Structure 1
Amino acid sequence: MAKGTKGENAKKYLIEIAAKLFLQNGYSNTGINDILTEAGVSKGSFYFHFSSKKDLAVEVSKHYYKIIVQNWLKPLSNNNWDIFINKLVSDLKNFTSLGKFFGCPIVILGLEIAFIEADLSKMYAYSTNELIGIFKNSLKISKVPEDELDSIARKAFALYEGHIVYYRITKDESAFDFMLKDLLEIELHNNI
C-alpha cells in the first residue's frame, strides 16, 4: 500500500494531535492554537484541511472509531467471552503501562459534547452503540440466548465504561482488575 501524500500525511497528523489533546484536555478546553502549537504547523495549514474545529472533531470521531471499534475491538470480539474479556483488559493494562490510555475516547468525548455539539453527539452515540454491539457479538459466540443478548451486552458495557471512568478519575489501576472480575462474573452468573 502506498504512503499518503504530504498533504494527506499533514491532515492525518493534525487529526492525531487533536485526538490526543481532546482526550487529555477536553474538546472545549482545546483551542485551534493549542493544536497548532502541539503540531508545529501554521494556521493556514490547519484551514487548508479543516474549515473549523468542529470539522476537525468530526475527523477525530472517525479516527477513534477506526482505531477502537474497527481495528481493535471488532476483531477481538470474534472470541468467546472469557478470551475476549481477558484480552481486552490485558490490552488496557498494557496501554496504561505505556502511558497511552486516558479513558475510552468515544465515551469521554461523547459525554463532553453531548449537549454542546448535536452533530458530533450523534457520531459518538453511533460509536457507543457499536461498542455495545461488540460486547453482544462475543456473548453471542459464547452461546448466550438471543433474548438475553441485548440486556447482558448493555450491562457489560456499563461495567466496562464505569471502571474506565473510575480509572480516569482516580488513576487507580486496580480498576482493571475489578473490571476483569466483574465482566467475567457476567459469564458465570448467566451460565454461558
Structure 2
Amino acid sequence: MNKGIKGENSKKYLIEIAAKLFLQKGYSNTGINDILTEAGVSKGSFYFHFSSKKDLAVEVSKYYYKIIVQNWLKPLSNNTWDVFINKLVLDIKNSTSLGKFFGCPIAILGLEIAFIEEDLSDMYAYSIKELIEVFKNSLKVSEVSEDKLDSIARKAFSIYEGYTVYYRITKDKNVIDFMLKDLLEIQLHNNISMNLT
C-alpha cells in the first residue's frame, strides 16, 4: 500500500481489497493475512480499523450496496425498461471484457455467508430486496400496471441473478447476451398481455 494512504483512505483501501478478494476467492477462503498481503499493510493497521474479519465483511456488504445499488442501478432504473436493461447489460459486458466481472457480489457473497454469518446474511438479504425494487422502479417508469409490478420485478431479478451465476461458473460471455434477450422479453410479454386485456 502507498505509505501516503492514511486514516479513512486506509480503511477504504482495505475494504476495497477485501471486497475484491471475497468475491474472487470467497469469504471463507480469504484470510486476514491474504488481505494484509494484497493491501501491503500490517496487522496493526488492519486492527486499527476493524475488530475482526467479520467486522470488515460488514463494511464490504455496505460497499457493494453503495456501488451496485445506490451508485449504479438506482439512478439507471429511472429509465424505461429497454434503456435500463440495455445499459445494465452493456456495463456488464464492458466489465467482462476487462476481466472485472465475477457475478453479482451481493448474490455471490450472500449465498456463501447465508449459513455462516446470520447477521451478515441479513445485510445481503436487504440488498437483494433493494435490487428487486430497482427492477420494479424501471418497470414502473415503463408504465407496467401496478398489480403486476412485484411479480415481474421478481422474475426480472431471478433472470438477472441466474445469468450472473451462470456466467460466473462457465465464464461464457454469450450468457450475458442470453440475459439481455430474456430481460427485454419480460417487457415485451407484459406489453402483449396488456394489449390482450
- Indicate the TM-score class for this superposition, using the shorter chain for normalisation: over 0.9
**Aligned equivalents of 2:113, 2:13: Cα separation in 1:** 23
Alpha-carbon offset, residue 99 of structure 1: 1.2
Residue equivalent to 1:18: 18
State the distance in 1 between where 2:26 and 2:162 align.
19
**TM-score calculated relative to the size of structure 1:** 0.97
Aligned to 1:72: 72
The TM-score normalised by the length of structure 2 is: 0.94
Q: Which runs of 5+ in 2 are unaligned?
A: none
- Distance, in Å, in 1 between the alignment partners of 2:26 and 2:66 is 20
Residue 170 of structure 2 aligns with which residue?
170
Identity %: 84
The separation in 1 between residues aligned to 2:164 and 2:189, in whole angstroms, is 22
Q: Secondary structure of the residue that 2:178 maps to in structure 1?
A: helix
- 1:6 positional shift: 2.1
Distance in 1 between residues matched to 2:72 and 2:110, nearest whole Å: 19
For each residue in 1:10-31, what CA deviation from the matched residue of structure 2 results, as whole angstroms up to 9, or x when unmatched?
0000000000000000000000
Across the aligned residues of Structure 1 and Structure 2, the Cα RMSD in angstroms comes to 0.9
The alignment partner of 1:190 has SS state of helix
Q: CA deviation at 1:86?
A: 0.3
Task: Look up the equivalent residue of 1:78 and give its one-letter code.
Answer: N
Paired residue type of 2:48? F
Query: Residue type matched to 1:187 in 2?
Result: Q
Which structure 1 segments of 5+ residues have no match?
none
Instruction: Number of aligned residue pairs: give it.
Output: 188
**1:104 corresponds to 2:104:** yes
Residue 134 (structure 1) aligns with: 134
- Report the alpha carbon displacement of residue 141 of structure 1 after superposing the two structures with TM: 0.5
Please state how far the C-alpha of 1:76 moved relative to its aligned partner: 0.2
SS of the aligned residue for 1:30 comes to coil
Letter of the aligned partner of 1:153 in structure 2?
A: A
Q: CA deviation at 1:41?
A: 0.4
